[in-house]
Amino acid sequence: MSQTALAPLTLQNKLESARAAARVLATATAGQKNAALTAIAGAILASAGRILPANEADITRAREGGLSAGIQDRLRLDRSRLESLAAAVLQVASLVDPVGQAVRGSTLPNGIKISQVRVPFGVVGVIYEARPNVTIDIAALALKSGNAAVLRGGSAAQSTNQVLVEIVQEAISSVGLPALSVQTIDEFGREGAQQLMRARGFVDVLIPRGSAELINTVVAESTVPVIETGAGVVHVYLDESADLDMAADIVVNAKVQRPSVCNAVETVLVNASAAQRLLPTVLQRLRNVGVTIHGDEATLAIFADAVPATEDDWGTEYMSLDVSVRVVEDLDEAIAHIRRYSTHHTESIITNDLGRAERFLAEVDSAVVMVNASTRFTDGGEFGFGAEVGISTQKLHARGPMGLGELTSTKWVVRGTGQVRS
């Protein structure tokens, strides 16, 4: 009988079960973990008839509740997205198992051999909003890195997440690993999230994904160590030497390809000496696909089909078909603007000047900095991680897209032959 058929567990039961599952996963072989991942990928594809109706119920509630189009887009699963999720799980299975990898090592003069090796965290807690894809991404990455996962996915996606977790548990159990290696605590609501934040001793690390408000709340209130994933007030700077077609292609892609995600551009900065050359084409292409331009005075003078930007616009993560645009005097002013308003997620410069490109890379303090590329590439899948836990914007432990390696810690292994210290 699968765990999903058993009597409901209390939150404390779930935390204790996660701890027990983590001990099993820590010594599971790569073959066992890959078998679980393969089973999960197959179950996702085979279970569309269970997943999609639950997802439609969540979408209906979101629409009737007045949630934004961006949130509804993040909530939505269809057959194409299910196929992408399954493919991401299989890609994680194909990656090298990080557990046991040697980070560094040496032999001491007395013959003792020391090595630093990767080990799982143990139990990873994740609090996130309206992102059912995260349920699968975290489950896959946690399993491959030998961690149990306790998930709080929020009320907006509760029906979808419940079905996804059931499917994952069934798949894990089918290959002989603990079904409760992956769990949801959505049924416990906000109180469950509060308890998860205070579950020190049961949960080894907590990762929030979502709005700035959610992330700040978890960072401020959690007694469990937190890896902070930041909101994405993302910038693209159009240098005076930028190629017009390249600038337009990159800005449109960075804004429009999927506007509801954290690596979509929110502010475009353009060098004053190139504004007349670049902005009419770039902004008209954005308007042609429905983007609202929030421009400063210089932008409004060049492109009339824009609305005046306010001070709040420069710090806003729209997650919608909106973008703020500001004309700056030079690279120094662009960097100063980014320093003031950025959430240190991703910034890109469009330029044909090598010196300014290198300055931008060196001086902009964000998790990912780019030259002549769309910010949409800040993604674990695009970076070859198969999936991602999130984009860490802090500087301790992990920064940028987090994959398998970022879900491990290390321990030192010492092998001697009877040495004693004098």
171/260 same-domain check: no
pLDDT at 4: 46
Total count of domains within the chain: 2
Residue 386 in this model has a pLDDT that exceeds 80: no
Neighbouring CB atoms inside 10 A of 403's CB total 23
Question: Residue written as tokens 């404390």?
Answer: 12
pLDDT at 252: 98
In tens, the pLDDT along 71-103 reads 898 899 999 999 999 999 999 999 999 999 999
Identify the domain containing residue 393 by its residue range.
9-229+389-415
Residue 275 in this model has a pLDDT that exceeds 80: yes
pLDDT at 265: 98
96 membership: H or E segment, kind and range: none
Question: Residue written as tokens 């100063």?
Answer: 336
Does residue 131 lie in a domain region?
Answer: yes
65/208 same-domain check: yes
179/316 same-domain check: no
Does residue 395 lie in a domain region?
Answer: yes
Q: Rounded to an integer, what distance in angstroms lies between the CA atom of residue 143 and that of residue 361? A: 35
Does residue 3 lie in a domain region?
Answer: no
Does residue 240 lie in a domain region?
Answer: yes
Q: What is the dihedral of CA 139, 143, 148, 151, to 10 degrees?
A: -10
Q: Rounded to an integer, what distance in angstroms lies between the CA atom of residue 92 and that of residue 259? A: 26
Q: Give the mean model confidence (pLDDT) for residues 401-410.
A: 93
Does residue 257 lie in a domain region?
Answer: yes
Does residue 382 lie in a domain region?
Answer: no
Under DSSP, is residue 393 helix (H, G, I), strand (E, B) or coil? coil
pLDDT at 3: 46
38/19 same-domain check: yes
Under DSSP, is residue 397 helix (H, G, I), strand (E, B) or coil? coil
User: Which of 225, 164, 319, 79 lies closest to 172, judged by CA?
Assistant: 164
Phi, psi of 409 (to 5 degrees): -110, -165
Q: Rounded to an integer, what distance in angstroms lies between the CA atom of residue 313 and that of residue 303? A: 18
254/353 same-domain check: yes
Q: Rounded to an integer, what distance in angstroms lies between the CA atom of residue 50 and that of residue 348? A: 41
pLDDT at 61: 95
Sort strands 113-120 and 182-184 into parallel, antiparallel or unpaired.
unpaired
Q: What percentage of the chain exceeds 90 in pLDDT?
A: 86
156/271 same-domain check: no
pLDDT at 71: 86
248/194 same-domain check: no
Q: What percentage of the chain exceeds 70 in pLDDT?
A: 98
Angle between helices 158-174 and 48-64 (to 10 degrees): 160
The CATH number covering residue 401 comes to 3.40.605.10
394/330 same-domain check: no
In tens, the pLDDT along 28-71 reads 999 999 999 999 999 999 999 999 999 999 999 999 999 988 88
Q: How confident is the model at residue 7 (pLDDT cuts 50, 70, 90)?
A: low
Burial tier of 319 (Cβ tally within 10 Å: 0-12, 13-18, 19+)? buried
pTM over 0.95, yes/no = no
315/188 same-domain check: no
Burial tier of 396 (Cβ tally within 10 Å: 0-12, 13-18, 19+)? exposed
pLDDT at 6: 54
Q: How confident is the model at residue 297 (pLDDT cuts 50, 70, 90)?
A: very high
Please state, rounded to an integer, the average pLDDT across all residues of the chain: 94
Residue 209 CA: distances (Å) to CA of 134, 213, 237? 9, 10, 26
In tens, the pLDDT along 110-159 reads 999 999 999 999 999 999 988 899 999 999 999 999 999 999 998 999 99
Q: How confident is the model at residue 2 (pLDDT cuts 50, 70, 90)?
A: very low
Q: Give the mean model confidence (pLDDT) for residues 223-238.
A: 92
Q: Rounded to an integer, what distance in angstroms lies between the CA atom of residue 332 and that of residue 101? A: 43
